[in-house]
Amino acid sequence: MRLFRSSHIITLVLAAALAGTGPMIRAQDTATSATGLTALVATIRADVAAGKRTPAALADDLAQFDRLLAAEGGKRTEQAAHIIMMKGMIYAEIFDDPETAKTFILQVQQNYPDTSIASKLGPLLAMLDEQAMSKRSRVTIKDGGPFPDFAETNILTGAPLSVGGYKGRVVLVDFWATWCPLCRTDMPTVVATYDKYHAQGLEVIGVCMDVDKDTMLAYTQTNHIVWPQYFDGLRWQNKLAVKYAIEELPANILISTNGTILARNVTAENLDQAVTKALGK
């Protein structure tokens, strides 16, 4: 199973944001529960699963938030606060628009100070600030386009590290972590592929998203991982993970000899074939 950055899974975020407020929702009468906020969230999940992921595509759903809020009659109720917060999270989680989302969350915090949820929004606001910073830091990458390079340091040797340093060779930038089960499962395949094709022109650059350097070093030594590694101990806020918008693990970017992106997130099952093709074998 791939591991996803939890701040980008709507069900987990909403559950965290609503922690401790469940009894209030459960106390709603049956009619409200069936046709109100709970039903709307279920509708949105179904619409997103059907491919609707833009404000225009979800316009009817967004309008329903406004109708639910109007039904509160201008009262500063817990339910009204939840409606506004939920609408904000749609912007964060589906539209990747944390700035707009933050306006809704601040509205709850500032205009509904006596509600229980208003006191719980600090971590959520911090998460939205983090998401906004991550979005501003991202670079645009697409298959067939040029790889926007980095200039960092190999944590294993202290030497400069960049894809450009391997000009004329195929490079696999591999994002991984020791705490990622599928990364550990796939790593022997990456090692085997490197051993098989390194002499023919393959390089691997690891981007380790661990927190503890000693854990990362011990793992590389035990598993015969000899290629360069970038490490900064910031987990999901790893500088290169943020730059390339990595939000799930394992992840990788396969780059051609002339610096163009050949593929992203090549699975272990397809890695040998992808590298063979990249090398022109």
Cβ-Cβ contacts under 8 Å for 152 (sequence gap 6 or more): 160, 161, 162, 230, 239, 240
Query: Quick one: pLDDT at residue 18?
Result: 45
Query: Quick one: pLDDT at residue 32?
Result: 41
Query: Quick one: pLDDT at residue 17?
Result: 44
- How far is 281 from 275, CA to CA, in rounded Å? 9
Cβ-Cβ contacts under 8 Å for 279 (sequence gap 6 or more): 170, 197, 200, 201, 202
Query: Quick one: pLDDT at residue 47?
Result: 92
Which helix (H) or strand (E) element contains residue 175?
Answer: strand 170-176
Q: In what order do the strands lie in the sheet with 229-231?
A: 229-231, 202-208, 170-176, 251-255, 261-264
Is residue 176 packed enough to be buried (19+ CB in 10 Å), middle (13-18) or exposed (0-12)?
buried
Q: Read off the pTM.
A: 0.65
C-alpha distances in Å from residue 249, one per residue of 161, 170, 206, 256: 22, 22, 13, 22
Query: Quick one: pLDDT at residue 143?
Result: 87
Determine the distance from the C-alpha atom of residue 127 to the mean position of all C-alpha atoms in its chain, rounded to a whole number: 12
Both structure tokens of 236: 């999901």
Query: Quick one: pLDDT at residue 31?
Result: 38
Query: Quick one: pLDDT at residue 137?
Result: 66
Say whether 108 sits in a helix, a strand or coil: helix
Return per-residue pLDDT of the chain as tens, 281 residues: 555 554 444 444 444 444 433 333 333 333 343 358 888 988 998 998 898 989 999 999 999 999 999 999 999 998 999 899 999 999 988 898 999 999 999 999 999 999 998 988 998 898 888 778 777 767 778 889 999 999 999 999 999 999 999 999 999 999 999 999 999 999 999 999 999 999 999 999 999 999 999 999 999 999 999 999 999 999 988 999 989 988 889 999 999 999 999 999 999 999 999 999 999 97
Q: Quick check: 235 and 208 in contact, CB under 8 A?
A: no
Both structure tokens of 45: 């999940």
